[in-house]
Chains A and B, each alone.
Chain A
Amino acid sequence: AQTVTQSQPEMSVQEAETVTLSCTYDTSESDYYLFWYKQPPSRQMILVIRQEAYKQQNATENRFSVNFQKAAKSFSLKISDSQLGDAAMYFCAYKGPQGGSEKLVFGKGTKLTVNP
């Protein structure tokens, strides 16, 4: 079964600085999808960024970027110029190949604190 591991239960960053959240996963598939979701205290799950395994180029969305290392099964999230509104739980998630299970498998999450 696929598993997703987030080894950092909590992280903190100073406003305007950069922080990297770690995620590793285990799968025997070659085609799959990876996501980072943000959950602020409002509990709404918000999609931050997505990465297709077949793409070598790392995904970027404004201040958010990923470092996708397929061979190492690593998928870290970098937040640049951190803002107070970035404070939230961040969950890494995995989905298997197109046409297979639609299930998202989530890591346990990393709580990010942004200090002013």
Chain B
Amino acid sequence: SAVISQKPSRDICQRGTSLTIQCQVDSQVTMMFWYRQQPGQSLTLIATANQGSEATYESGFVIDKFPISRPNLTFSTLTVSNMSPEDSSIYLCSISGGGNEQFFGPGTRLTVL
């Protein structure tokens, strides 16, 4: 199966700043996904990123707050903009598997002070 990496693995940021999280896959994939996992909670899909088109955002998530890039079939970035402590979460990228499952990257743990 594909190897998925994320950078950074963790970061501590000041409120009002922005952080860009990178997701790299070692093979070409059509669809990539970004999820948020708030402390002690489950995973919630932020958006779906297809190469060559704008990301599709889930209800409650907006492009101004979570801009996403998908410049090619192996890479995507998620930016968390104008951060507040409520943005402290684990952010995970994932890709579709051949059997309708998804495979996840190792996650980025973000703490906003």
Q: A residues touching B (Cβ–Cβ < 8 Å)?
A: 33, 35, 37, 42-47, 50, 52, 91, 95, 98, 102-104, 106-109
Min distance, Cβ B2 to any Cβ of chain A, angstroms? 13
Q: Mark B33-46, 1 if CB is under 8 A from A, else 0.
A: 10001000111110
User: In the complex, A48 Cα to B103 Cα: how many Å?
Assistant: 11
User: Are B96 and A35 in contact, CB atoms less than 8 angstroms apart?
Assistant: no
Chain B binding surface, main DSSP class? strand
Interface centre among B100, B103, B109 (most CB of A within 10 A): B100
Q: How many A-B residue pairs have CB under 8 A?
A: 54
Q: A47-B97, A47-B101 are in contact. List 17 more A-B contacts (CB 8 A).
A: A35-B101, A37-B104, A42-B106, A43-B106, A44-B104, A45-B43, A45-B94, A45-B104, A45-B107, A46-B104, A47-B103, A91-B42, A91-B43, A102-B96, A103-B48, A106-B44, A107-B42
User: In the complex, A106 Cα to B90 Cα: how many Å?
Assistant: 15
Contacts A33-B100, A45-B104, A47-B101 hold; do A104 and B43 have CB atoms under 8 A apart? yes
User: In the complex, A98 Cα to B44 Cα: how many Å?
Assistant: 20
User: In the complex, A109 Cα to B39 Cα: how many Å?
Assistant: 12
User: Are A103 and B43 in contact, CB atoms less than 8 angstroms apart?
Assistant: no
Q: Is B58 an interface residue (CB 8 A)?
A: yes
